[in-house]
Each structure stands twice: as C-alpha cells, then as structure tokens.
Amino acid sequence: METIMTKTPLKSLEGKVALVTGASSGIGRATAFELARRGAKVIASARGQSEIDALVAEIKKEGFEATAIVADVNVEQSVIDLVAKTISTYGRIDVAFNNAGTEGEFTPFVDQSNEVYDAIFNANVRGVFWSMKHEAKAMLAQGGGTIINNASMGGVIGFGNAGLYIASKHAVLGLTKSASIELFKQGVRVNSICPGIIDTPFQDRIWPSTEAKDAFAASTVPGRAGSSEEMAAVVAFLASDDASFVSGHGLLADGGYSIA
C-alpha cells in the first residue's frame, strides 16, 4: 500500500505555523512530517531532544521547514515556554496538535493505583488542558487558529483493564467540546481525532506480545492496524480550511472498530 508520505505534497497549509507535541514517535512524528509536507512551518516538540532533532533533520532534508523544541506537558511553565518559543520562532501559531500523553498501566480496575491515576491524568488531561489554554490565548490574540487533540477511540468506548486511560480520553473529548463552544465564534476551532489500533510504539507497549497485537488487529473490520501516516492525514484535514465548519468534533479514525 502506498504510504501518505510518498504522495505529491499538498499545500493546504501553506504559510501556516503548526505545533506538534509528542512528536518523537508514532502519530506525532508522522503528523509533524505531514504538516510540513503540506506547507506548514512545524514546531516538533517532545521531552527527548535527540528524537525531535532527528525528525527535524529528516523534514529539512526533504526541503521543508521545522524546528525542534523540548517541552514537558506535565509542567505548565514548560507549556507556556513552548508556546512562547513557537511564536518567537515563527511569529504566530495557527495549528496545534496536542498528541503528547501516556498509557500508564493496563491492569484490572480494582488494582489501578493512585500513582497511575496521577501519571495518566497529569499528562493526558491536565497536560492537554494546559496546552489548549495557552495555545488558545495565543490564537485569540492573533485572530484565530485550530487546535486538535488526540483523544483515541478510548474517548468514546470502553476497554477492560484500561479504566484510567479510557477515562482520561473521555475527558479530552469533554475539553474539546466545551472549548469549541466558547472559541468557535472567535475564530478558533477545536477538534479531536480518535484513532483505533494504529501500528505505533504505543500499541507495542500495551499488548502483552506482538502476536496478541496482530491477532486483535486482524479481528477488526479492515483486518489490519492503521498507520501513523493515515492518522496524520486526518489531522491535516482538520487543520486545513477544508474543515472550516468542523469544530467540537471527535473524528473516529478506527477502521470501523467502534461500531462493530
């Protein structure tokens, strides 16, 4: 199957500035590359310097524009600094993809601990809240923009042994919907993507074995896992003016799993 990255670049984001958190791997990495391909100047952010440096070098090698900025969404001042550095580097922030997060531990509900709760909700909810808050302030000051959160299909359905992770992603959809109601008339659209099983390091971590992961993917409607590039294309659509009347939406990109 031809990957998204091998296709002729679409300039639907020409002149835009896009910030991607959690850009070191998986969907975040693919999205940073895809937004750059579509004409955006990209800020690739994560906690690991070497990973985002490598990504930015690859993007630039292809002739596109990107800058790496280390940040930790678990720390509000780090988020504030990230938004400020984005604006000081490129003058504005038009698109933000809040992808950084954690899976915590997948264990039976009665065994889930306060420590795991804190780790998951600090990154997946408070980190997204801080990111949205400070991105929205910058976008309102400049007259508009679009925010996209990664809510996972876990934001709309449940899974056994994943109660805290699932609850955190439901919260992300709640933030998305509420912020959209407040911000849409002021020129800021807020949406989420809800990926299903995607072939990423995240999925490698949550399954007990490669065989278990592959068996689950084979049991889905399309009979396979999705790719990070497919998710990047969904983010790129929501980031573009083609989605100008789409806000407050959790776009399911799960190959039909949640309805089957």
Give the residue numbers annotated as catalytic, written as ranges.
Answer: 165
Give the separation between CA 195 and CA 152, rounded to whole angstroms. Answer: 5
Amino acid at 258: S
- Beta-carbon count within 10 A of 76 CB: 16
Sign of CA dihedral 152, 188, 181, 80: positive
Question: 17-20 and 95-98 as β-strands: parallel, antiparallel, unpaired?
Answer: parallel
Give the separation between CA 218 and CA 212, rounded to whole angstroms. Answer: 10
Q: Which of 81, 97, 103, 129 is nearest to 13 (CA)?
A: 97
Backbone angles phi, psi at 25, to 5 degrees: -160, 170
- Beta-carbon count within 10 A of 2 CB: 7
